Structure 1
Amino acid sequence: MDALGFLETYLWLLGPMMLRYLILAWAVHGLFWERPRPFSFAKQLAAQRPKREHVWREAKTALAASLIYAFPAAILVDAFEAGGTGLYWRWPEGPLEWLWIPGAILMLMVLHDAYFYWTHRLMHHPRLYEATHRTHHISKQPTAYASFAFSPWEALIASWLIPAIAFVVPMHVAAFGLFIMIATVSAVMNHAGWEIWPRSFLDGPVGRWLITARHHNLHHTRFKRNYGLYFRFWDKAMGTDDMSGDPFVKA
């Protein structure tokens, strides 16, 4: 891998990565906060309308974090072009390979969720918090723009896992791309300050195991609880799943 070729790959990824974040965050934030009338199906979680300077700080921080996120992604892309990863383009052969497309997405979500829970909880340790996670928690009431507003150290911790898995686990490029889309949308929606799912679903047999804005918003407002990313399994297993103060329940 020559340095000039790697730099080209890095810049080729960085632009779309930043645009993906900005467009999605802008769209979600605009849909919920810039409309004259809020959606009837959504519940507002944020106590107050976000200020412009608040949003601008989150956006700048997230764009800076993209400089780090693009680095392992560029390593993965260059290795993929050289045939050195588990990713493949070929048409799936047989029903098992077709089933492995959603299976690979679920596998990535489970592994990412476990890694996120434990690193996230570790970054809340007093000795690590200031250097790693405090930047994200400046947003006591986050917006969609806070979804990737990480310090350099947190971005370094968070950015390498998924590319590393793609190096060793065979999966179709479509599965990998769909997972990235799910992860991005999930992060943006969980920081939006609005819950789009009805309480009947959230309290049902499926919803009670999923992390949505309702669950993650309490992490920002009440702090040392609700550390998970996609699923509430680790929070429930480790006793950190705490819905007290839930805005869906009247005091």
Structure 2
Amino acid sequence: MEALWSRAVGSVSPGIVELVGTSLVQILSFWVPSLVYLTLDSVAPKFANKYKIQPAPKQPSKAEIWHCAEVVVGNQALTAIIKVAELSALYALGIGSFYRVDKQLPSLAEIIRDFTLCVLGAEIIFYYGHRLLHHPRFYSRIHKKHHQFTAPIAPTAQYSHPLEHILSNVIPLALPPQILQCHIITFWLFLGCALFETVTVHSGFDFFSGCVRMHDLHHEKFSINYGSLGFLDLAHGTFAMNIKPKKKLAGQSP
């Protein structure tokens, strides 16, 4: 594998390696599972109903799903334009990439170490950035767009205002590995896992004993479960897995 990787890296510039590899990771980790989740109701309805969180009346229409896909493609095109501009500037400065793109593959110990640090760094950036977007000054102008889907579907993971897409979707995943100067392979592994995770928690299907329900509740109640891992929500008192309905007062109509 290292010999194959060495030949591939040696034949093209680091910027091309990063651009092509990251694009492939985006397709395989975001769009492929999104399409699987979106077609699950038609392909395996009994299986889908077993794990579906929100009832049918709350599900978005086909027109809303197409609109979601158009917004997501637009956001990803914006990301691609920024990435090309970034790589062009780095090339002009004689820097290949913010990541390590060398002929030697990273060791397993290095991958585990950097992957873990990236996960923790991304969670910290995402949690506090997400809470900031829920501030009244920013919510109505920016973050409300993402919350238009109270019963989210997989592609809504990146259905957002362009500014939120950069601040909340791109920076938390790009900044930690760039600061650590991770090997590009480690970055791709981290990015792939992160994209698959966010698609899954927005899918509307809970296959993992409550993990998806946690974020689904955020879309339903807005003021809980801001993070992905839960430890910052626990620390700040914003964690919840089940919301009990309020007790009705005597004489109150149903």
* TM range, smaller chain: 0.7 to 0.9
CA contact (8 A) 2:155 2:199 kept: yes
Partner deviation per Cα, 1:135-156 (whole Å, 9 max, x = no partner): 1000011101211101111012
1:46 to 26, 37, 54: 54
CA contact (8 A) 2:26 2:195 kept: no
Q: Give the corresponding residue for 1:242.
A: 240
Q: Give the corresponding residue for 1:23.
A: 32
Please tell me whether Structure 1 or Structure 2 has the larger radius of gyration of its CA atoms. Answer: 2
Cα 1:91–1:132 change in 2 (3 A) is same
Cα 1:26–1:92 change in 2 (3 A) is closer
- Map 1:103-182; keep pairs closer than 5 Å: 103-158=113-168, 159-182=170-193
1:37 to 37, 40, 45: 45
The one-letter amino acid of 1:168's match is I
CA contact (8 A) 1:144 1:191 kept: yes
TM-score (normalised: structure 1): 0.77
CA distance in 2, matches of 1:156, 1:216: 20
**C-alpha RMSD of the superposition:** 3.2
Cα 1:150–1:14 change in 2 (3 A) is farther
| Secondary structure of the corresponding residue to residue 150 of structure 1 | coil
TM-score (normalised: structure 2): 0.76
The one-letter amino acid of 2:38's match is H
Q: Give the corresponding residue for 1:90.
A: 103
Q: How many residues align?
A: 224
Partner deviation per Cα, 1:3-52 (whole Å, 9 max, x = no partner): xxxxx999968975774543331122212x22343328952111224421
Cα 1:18–1:105 change in 2 (3 A) is closer
CA contact (8 A) 1:116 1:228 kept: yes
CA distance in 2, matches of 1:219, 1:83: 40
Taking only the aligned residue pairs, the percentage that are identical comes to 22
Cα 1:38–1:178 change in 2 (3 A) is farther
| Secondary structure of the corresponding residue to residue 131 of structure 1 | coil
Q: Give the corresponding residue for 1:249.
A: none
CA contact (8 A) 1:123 1:132 kept: yes
Partner deviation per Cα, 1:198-239 (whole Å, 9 max, x = no partner): 4xxx5xxxxxxxxx211000000111110002x100000000
Q: Give the corresponding residue for 2:217.
A: 218
Give the number of the structure whose residues are more often helix, by fraction.
2
- In structure 2, runs of 5+ residues without a counterpart are 1-15, 245-254
The one-letter amino acid of 1:89's match is D
Structure 1 stretch displaced more, 45-54 or 144-153:
45-54
Partner deviation per Cα, 1:72-107 (whole Å, 9 max, x = no partner): 4335655488345242333357xxx43010221111
CA distance in 2, matches of 1:40, 1:188: 16
| Secondary structure of the corresponding residue to residue 45 of structure 2 | coil
The one-letter amino acid of 2:190's match is F
- In structure 1, runs of 5+ residues without a counterpart are 1-7, 203-211, 247-251
CA contact (8 A) 1:68 1:155 kept: no
Structure 1 stretch displaced more, 214-223 or 46-55:
46-55
CA contact (8 A) 2:173 2:191 kept: no
- Map 1:193-204; keep pairs closer than 5 Å: 193-198=204-209
